[in-house]
Amino acid sequence: MPRLFFSIEIPVQIKQRLLQVRAPVAGARWQSAAQLHLTLLFLGPVSDDRVAEVCAEVRALAMPAFDLEVSGIGCFGQPASPRNLWAGVSPCDSLLALQAALKDVLGGLGFEFDQRAFRPHVTLARFKKQRGSVAALLDDHQSTNFGAFPVQEFVLYQSTQGGGGSVYTVLERFALEG
């Protein structure tokens, strides 16, 4: 069964700026340009026969286009031993409404989701066992503005595990209004 998630793609020029954050940090598995995105909602494994149903329900959503800004970096976990390093995304009302609408419509189809609050971000690096400190990176980039961009669509990705990390394939694009 394919592993699916909804996401917003990041423009190439912002990805290039995000990639410049890379630094030698013990245990960091840096994301490639192709892996940089903003996850809206993770569905997990979905049977092939349900993918069409998911897409049909999501196509019926009427949500407005909006602008996002990517700025600053932070981490999940302590800076001395992080789990993830991420770039911040301005949590505008339209972004939060889109994520909530997806969660609502897909919850109606029986999908269950993590109950933690949605914290929009772009994952830059993941850490496993050996974790080096990212404190210096946080200091250097806490107020870095990576850019703003219009969000006119979101995508349904299929995630496939590969030797260099996950590979994401767009299954469908969903236009926003306006």
Tens-digit pLDDT profile for residues 16-34: 999 999 999 999 999 999 9
pLDDT for 163: 74
C-alpha span between 44 and 6 (Å, rounded) = 10
CATH number at residue 70: 3.90.1140.10
Residue type, 66: F
Residue type, 45: P
pLDDT for 114: 83
pLDDT for 40: 96
For 150, phi then psi, to 5°, come to: -80, 135
Indicate whether 91 pLDDT > 90: no
Domain count, the chain: 1
- In this prediction the pTM is 0.92
Q: Would you name the residues annotated as active-site residues?
A: 37, 121
**What average pLDDT is seen over the chain?**
93
Question: Mean pLDDT over residues 51-66, rounded?
Answer: 95
Please name the residues in contact with 176: beta carbons below 8 A apart, sequence gap of 6 or more: 63, 64, 65, 66, 98, 151, 152, 153, 154
pLDDT for 2: 86
pLDDT for 85: 96
What angle do helix axes 93-107 and 48-59 make, rounded to 10 degrees?
Answer: 130
The rounded radius of gyration (Å) of the Cα atoms in the chain is 16
C-alpha span between 58 and 43 (Å, rounded) = 13
Share of the chain above pLDDT 90, in %: 85
Residue type, 151: V
C-alpha span between 56 and 51 (Å, rounded) = 9
Question: Domain containing 47: what range?
Answer: 3-175
